[in-house]
């Protein structure tokens, strides 16, 4: 389209604020096991996706960072809401 932007695509799990830490820990353990599985790795290969596990803190920081970057770029590129 001619715009100098590459937007990352995230695959992840999300939950509302306030989920108890023990529940987050169980989900993180399950996600780590899933990422290690050959079936998951095969699927990511078919999607030509880069496999990178991040725990909840790291994933939240990544998504927040990209959101901020896009928030700055969108007006700079002249995009407007319909």
Q: What is the pLDDT of residue 25?
A: 95
Residues of the chain whose pLDDT is less than 70?
1, 3, 81-82
Q: What is the CA radius of gyration of the chain?
A: 16
Q: What is the pLDDT of residue 28?
A: 95
Q: What is the pLDDT of residue 70?
A: 85
pTM above 0.85, yes or no: no
Residue 20's alpha-carbon distances to 23, 27, 82, in angstroms, are: 5, 11, 39
Taking every pair of Cα atoms in the chain, the longest distance, rounded to a whole number of angstroms, is: 46
Q: What is the pLDDT of residue 78?
A: 81
Q: What is the pLDDT of residue 71?
A: 86
Q: Which 8-state DSSP code applies to residue 17? A: T
Q: What is the pLDDT of residue 82?
A: 67
């Amino acid at each position: 389209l001619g715009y100098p932007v590459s937007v990352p695509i995230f695959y992840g799990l999300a939950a509302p604020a306030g989920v108890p830490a023990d529940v987050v820990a169980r989900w993180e353990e399950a996600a780590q096991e899933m990422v290690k599985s050959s079936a998951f790795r095969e699927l990511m290969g078919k999607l030509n996706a880069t496999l990178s596990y991040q725990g909840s803190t790291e994933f939240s920081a990544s998504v927040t960072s990209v959101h901020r970057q896009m928030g700055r770029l969108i007006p700079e590129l002249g995009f407007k809401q319909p």
